[in-house]
A and B are shown apart, each in its own frame.
Chain A
Amino acid sequence: MEWTDIALTGLIWALEILAIAVPVALSVAYITYAERRVIGLIQVRKGCNRVGPFGLLQPLADGLKLFLKETIIPSQANKILFVAAPVMALVPALVAFAVVPFGETTLFGLWDTAHVMAIAHLNVGILYILAISSLAIYGVLMAGWSSNSKYALIASVRATCQMISYEISMGFALVCVLMLAGSMDLSVIVNAQTGGFWHWYIIPLFPMFLVYFISGCAETNRTPFDLVEGEAELVAGHIVEYSGMWFATFSLAEYGAMILISLLTSILFLGGWDAPIPALDFIPGTVWLLLKTSFFIFVFIWFRATFPRFRYDQMMRLGWKVFLPWTLAWIAVLGLFTYAEELNSSLTILSDMIGYYQPWRS
């Protein structure tokens, strides 16, 4: 390989990464704006409307304010880990976007076959995302421990319990999707759902869709699962000692994870870049994917404005005693349906029903 080729490949990689990371950072800024406006609407008040038209420049003003603030490192803190913790929280949130497919394109007819729009086209995409998102714990854990503060430590222990508990039900919900699609490749999963909303996995897997989205809420520490930063008892939880840009890094990670969960819910359960009815195919697939994602981000904000916070034991109960048996039972049901015809020929109708969603069987 020539050096120019290597340089060119490197440049294309860098551009691809920028094409994902920059929109993510920008949408994080404007999700904070949307959040304040939507919660304002729900609570019958105006929300931010002073900076620029309709307050549209508010995120930039906030960013500037956070940037200019002093970053204080507590004197008793473990300095290296204190500084590293926000980065450890942010990196998994951004790295996970590497395998998310944003659609299929032929680059305006330049390529003969449609290519998947993702930085890395892995055939273990779902596992990669599970592995990377399980790393987000370290940012919280390190922040809590290195701050050398009681509030932060208790919050980080809580956060870890919460993330570990909900990761399990999340993983089992994903297993159900795998049983239907027969692949861990995200673009294959989307292609298994093509052809209108009656092919989407939300129909056979509706309870799993609920489990996945609610677990996603818990994973990202959003209300009603934000007992990590329950201000009445823990002040601000693991971020209590952080200020300025390092504080902003934590919220960047939180909102980034929120976008990721919304994207994945649309890809896994709502057909990704497929139009709900084939007649609407003239609208580009990426637009559909982003529309679905925006809807889920709206639901996140809606949750925050509507639900009171869970108590710690209620949160644990929901994860272990409700979601876990539910997902395990659904896996068994799917398995029984899939192989029902081999048990008894009169049960063929069951496996035909589920077989409609399983392209790998035909």
Chain B
Amino acid sequence: MFEAGFFYLFATLAVIGAMGVVLARHTMHSVMFLIFCFFNSAGLFFLLDAEFLGIILILIYVGAVMVLFMFVIMMLEVNKAKLREGFLQYLPMGGMIAMALLVEFIAAASSGIFHTDAIATVGHLGQEVNNTVEIGKILYTQYLLGFEIAAIILLVALVGAIVLTLRTRKDAKYQNISKQVNVRKEDRLRKVRM
């Protein structure tokens, strides 16, 4: 009963957060709503015993990705009135997509596949099962190649981003730390006979 209660709490708040993202007038408020939505999705993960995924969701998305989002938004002057200009023009198309999704959801929900009796109730695993360990085992054995490829792609992206922004300006002074540290007394001092 507790579990169902928490599920409905997190699910409702996540939906409210997601609606807030779209409906908020201010972009900064949209970002805060998105963060709120992520938190509640993490809560849903916790309810499914996937505490590793839940925490990683907060750590990566809320702790890192959203900060970058916010950085960009802080620097932008977003004109909401201009953004809403094409609202009526895109309304039919958007409405159609929304309707199609709604029909699909209703069809799927009423088809009986997702009926509570049809889904085997997932029992909670014991305290000794640690899903961090399980994910690690699978990731580093069965899916090692994919994992390594993803890592290489990320590394290339990282190096590429640094190379793109790396430029030395002629008019600015730069410190060479190792040169500074390695300097000897003889390099700087000169004995002068008076």
Residues of chain A having any CB pair with chain B under 8 Å: 1, 78, 80-81, 122-124, 127-128, 130-132, 134-135, 137-138, 141, 145-146, 153, 157, 160, 164, 167, 184, 313, 317
Q: Which residues of B contact A127 (CB under 8 A)?
A: 52, 55-56, 59, 132
Residues of chain B having any CB pair with chain A under 8 Å: 1-2, 26, 28-29, 32, 35, 51-52, 55-56, 58-59, 62-64, 67, 70-71, 74, 127, 130, 132, 175, 177
Q: Are A128 and B55 in contact (CB under 8 A)?
A: yes
Q: Which residues of B contact A124 (CB under 8 A)?
A: 51-52, 55, 132
**Complex formed: what's the CA distance from A122 to B127 in Å?**
10
Q: Which of B28, B130, B175 contacts A145 (CB 8 A)?
A: B28
Q: Which residues of A contact B70 (CB under 8 A)?
A: 141, 145
Q: Are B74 and A153 in contact (CB under 8 A)?
A: yes
Q: Which residues of B contact A134 (CB under 8 A)?
A: 58-59, 62-64
Known: A134-B64, A160-B67. 12 other contacts (CB 8 A): A81-B32, A124-B52, A124-B55, A127-B52, A131-B63, A134-B59, A134-B62, A137-B67, A138-B35, A145-B74, A146-B28, A313-B175
Q: Which residues of B contact A122 (CB under 8 A)?
A: 51
**Complex formed: what's the CA distance from A137 to B35 in Å?**
13
Q: Which residues of B contact A80 (CB under 8 A)?
A: 29
Q: Which residues of A contact B58 (CB under 8 A)?
A: 131-132, 134-135
Q: Which residues of B contact A135 (CB under 8 A)?
A: 58, 62-63
Q: Are A123 and B132 in contact (CB under 8 A)?
A: yes
**Complex formed: what's the CA distance from A81 to B35 in Å?**
14
Q: Which residues of A contact B35 (CB under 8 A)?
A: 138
**Complex formed: what's the CA distance from A137 to B51 in Å?**
23
Q: Which residues of A contact B59 (CB under 8 A)?
A: 127, 130-131, 134
**Complex formed: what's the CA distance from A81 to B33 in Å?**
12
